[in-house]
Amino acid sequence: MKRTGDLKLIQELNRSIILETIRKHGPISRSEIAKQNELSPTTVTSAVAELINDGYVSESGTGISRGGRRPILLEFSPNNHYLIGVSISYTKITIADINLEAKINIKKIYPTKGYTGVTLINYLLQLLEDFYKLRQDHRICIGISIIIQGIVDAKKGIVHYNPVLLLEDVYLRDSVEYHFRLPTWLDNDTNAYVLAEKNFGRFQDIENLIYITIGEGVGAGVIANHHLCRGEKGGTGELGHTSIDVSGKVCGCGNRGCLENYVSWPATSNRIMKRILEGCDTQLTDYLTNNKDFITPAEFVEAVNEGDGLAIEVTHEIAEYLSAGIVNVVHLFNPQVIILGGDVTNQNQLLIESLREKLRQKTLKTLYKDLYITTSSLGKEFEMVGAASVLLQDKFQFKLTHDHHRLKTSL
């Protein structure tokens, strides 16, 4: 039995390696695939036959002959299947029909209407059911992939902790899987974004990569030595609840001075409103009307880029607090790249520059020297690219590590 298991594993791994090669380097010939991966032509031929049969790969013309027949080229077919991506935030649920290159076919956004707990889950199932009916060809749907903030155990499919949406130890993956009879994935949102940067973004070859989201909360997705760090319960990267002030305000988590309470958008927005009420002269007041008593992150960034004094001052404050948290991340994980995500970072070059400068002052020189700090490369559909990445990464074993080859030869 053991031998059969090993053989099946090798076949699956080889199939993943071959699919990955075609996806990244196609159009490509069978012999080139064999050469690049040091696999036998027979292995490649049979795996490719399966991949063509399943619709993941197609033949796409012929290449240049190196003596003999012109080789038939193969390419990845991202549109013969689709997946359903779901992102649950505090204010909205986004559902999309996505191809296998993380391109969106159809997308719908629904407000969460303040629902929490069981009510929210039932609402989600209803929305998904309506969305699912939009297409007839369910046979080619490879699964549902859900991302959400908080502590998520991806392996067991449990949302352990999301205090805003009042979710505690909820078996969300199984509920959805049971309801739709479709394979379902569940992960933390920032883990999804770091996987997306690794699979589809600018940072595919980076070995040590950290994605930090600054939004309604603050979280980090950590890739160390090409592996996503999850921790025992999925709690790796709870950066928002690391303390930057031992005598700071008590946080909902029990700790004092949690980073989240200084740099999340609600925290920043409160500080801005307080200054406005104190009579600070700023163009930010222009965004307030009788019906709108808040400022959005995009409006804030616009004010920064137009040189508004208060907006600039607040940006430096955010950078100061953030650097106090991120310096610990750098000293713990020694990343090569840190990516900042969230609306307040989008187009906000001043924030990045200010953060770089403050980190330079606080970080061990050796660790700061080649550290690159930048904003997300995923574009405005980052949530859905993230959701797609969670499923695609797991199902097709897209290359996170360079260990495939070692594993293959050692077996």
Where does this chain bind Zn ion (CB under 5 A)? 241, 251, 253, 255, 258
Distance CA 297, CA 365 (A): 33
Spatial contact of 138 and 101, defined as CB atoms under 8 Å apart: no
263 exposed, middle or buried (CB, 10 Å; 0-12, 13-18, 19+)?
Answer: buried
Terminal Cα distance for the chain, rounded:
15
Spatial contact of 198 and 209, defined as CB atoms under 8 Å apart: yes
CB of 238 to Zn ion, least distance (A): 8
Cβ closer to Zn ion: 29 or 243?
243
Cβ closer to Zn ion: 230 or 241?
241
* Residue with tokens 């040091």, as numbered in its chain: 38
CB of 254 to Zn ion, least distance (A): 7
Distance CA 304, CA 302 (A): 5
DSSP H or E stretch at residue 28: strand 28-29
Cβ closer to Zn ion: 90 or 132?
90
CB of 260 to Zn ion, least distance (A): 6
CB of 240 to Zn ion, least distance (A): 7
Spatial contact of 25 and 36, defined as CB atoms under 8 Å apart: yes
What DSSP string runs through 91-140? SEEEEEEE-TTS-EEEEEEEE-TT--HHHHHHHHHHHHHHHHTT-S-GGG
Cβ closer to Zn ion: 61 or 231?
231
**Considering just the CA atoms, what is the radius of gyration of the chain in Å?**
23
214 forms bridges with which residues in the sheet? Answer: 218
* Residue with tokens 């992960």, as numbered in its chain: 187
Cβ closer to Zn ion: 128 or 258?
258
Q: How many helices (H) and strands (E) does the chain have?
A: 14, 16
CB of 242 to Zn ion, least distance (A): 8
CB of 403 to Zn ion, least distance (A): 35
Cβ closer to Zn ion: 47 or 259?
259
CB of 245 to Zn ion, least distance (A): 11
Cβ closer to Zn ion: 94 or 264?
264
Cβ closer to Zn ion: 7 or 250?
250
CB of 241 to Zn ion, least distance (A): 4
Cβ closer to Zn ion: 167 or 258?
258
Nearest 10 degrees: Cα torsion 160, 384, 23, 63: 170
Cβ closer to Zn ion: 104 or 253?
253
Nearest 10 degrees: Cα torsion 288, 294, 298, 304: 70
Tokens describing residue 54: 């399943």
CB of 249 to Zn ion, least distance (A): 10
DSSP H or E stretch at residue 228: strand 227-228
Nearest alpha carbon to residue 218 among 203, 200, 238:
238
CB of 163 to Zn ion, least distance (A): 10
